Amino acid sequence: MPDVDYEINAHKYWNNFYKIHENGFFKDRHWLFTEFPELAPSRNQNHLKDWFLENKRSEVPECRNNEDGPSLIMEEQHKCSSKSLEHKTETPPVEENVTQKISDLEICADEFPGSSATYRILEVGCGVGNTVFPILQTNNDPGLFVYCCDFSSTAIELVQTNPEYDPSRCFAFVHDLCDEEKSYPVPKGSLDIIILIFVLSAIVPDKMQKAINRLSRLLKPGGMMLLRDYGRYDMAQLRFKKGQCLSGNFYVRGDGTRVYFFTQEELDTLFTTAGLEKVQNLVDRRLQVNRGKQLTMYRVWIQCKYCKPLLSSTS
């Protein structure tokens, strides 16, 4: 099958994926609050502020216990302002009659979904809500508003019909990360956090930089972009068969969906070119053992945090 088919019909492949698996394929990501404390409830924000201001170490060895693997290599640069991580306690009014059709929205500074919120999070590539719903369940800050989008209309329908979906706290919409003509439902400089979990790897490599550039413009000064994705030579990459490689380190799965395997340097270039500064760029290597199938799996993931610089106070 020509490579162009995978690009043109990408939405069909992902819709089929979610029609088959619905909400049973991925588990809720409750590990989020350990890896990304920026998503935690407001009572943890003072601790987070202290962590950014006081922790000056460039390397943090094995900061957590985990049964899956022995190695966690971290690089930290604490350049990001804690201002975007502080929650206020103003209660936003309930968002009423919010259309789910992004094309019908008129984005302005004073009127958009979640415009009254004091802390705004966007997850790109939300799937069926395995990140969004744990955030909403755990973080009860009344000033929080969560946006989530996915390429798959089927996935968004599953999010919107989930009993946990609350339009007063969340806005789910269909969006193509690579569509340069399609705008997001929020103005520039309005988001505190953008989450990219195993999503950037699903798009064509030569479209990644422009996608990150557009997302970067949505962040407030001091806002943070959080990423976790596949690393080079992960088990999944090594298991691909001949004929499944579309280009360098970019593969197509049996169901037509695609995946790229990153290096730390590639991700650093993507984020810094978009004007963001490194806070964290680590390799997470894990040894997973499936005793039932007697399989040993060597996983390689990369985790990044990059922040938007504060506006300069000097000319």
Residue by residue, DSSP assigns 5-72 as HHHHTHHHHHHHHHHHHTTSSSPP-TTHHHH-GGGS-GGGHHHHHHHHHH---S-----S--SS-SEE
Question: Which residues are registered as beta bridge partners of 71?
Answer: 285
Q: Is residue 89 within 8 Å of 141, Cβ to Cβ?
A: yes
Query: Which residues lie below 8 Å from residue 160, measured CB to CB, with a gap of 6+?
Result: 100, 172
The amino acid sitting at 182 is K
Share the mean pLDDT of the chain: 76
* Residue 218 or 55, more confident: 218
Q: Is residue 230 within 8 Å of 238, Cβ to Cβ?
A: no
Strand order in the sheet with 119-124: 71-73, 277-290, 295-307, 219-230, 191-197, 119-124, 144-150, 170-174
Amino acid 151: pLDDT = 85
Would you say residue 76 has pLDDT above 50? no
Rounded to two decimals, what is the model's pTM? 0.73
Residue by residue, DSSP assigns 68-112 as S-SEEE--B---S-GGGGPPP-PPPPPP-S--S-GGG----SS-S
The sign of the CA dihedral 115, 116, 120, 124 is: negative
Q: Is residue 300 within 8 Å of 231, Cβ to Cβ?
A: yes
Reported as a single tens digit per residue, the pLDDT across 117-157 is: 999 999 999 988 989 999 999 898 999 999 999 988 888 99
Amino acid 243: pLDDT = 84
Would you say residue 71 has pLDDT above 70? no
Which of 227, 307, 235, 237 shows the shortest CA–CA distance to 267? 227
What 3-state DSSP class applies to 138?
helix
Would you say residue 32 has pLDDT above 60? yes
Query: Distance between CA 17 and CA 180 in Å, rounded?
Result: 25
Which of 235, 210, 218 shows the shortest CA–CA distance to 286? 235
The amino acid sitting at 98 is V
* Residue 292 or 284, more confident: 284
- 83 phi, psi to nearest 5 deg: -60, -40
Section 44-71 average pLDDT: 39
* Residue 308 or 78, more confident: 308
The sign of the CA dihedral 199, 193, 265, 232 is: negative
Q: Which domains does the chain have, with CATH numbers?
A: 2-38+110-307 (3.40.50.150)
State the Rg of the chain over Cα. 19
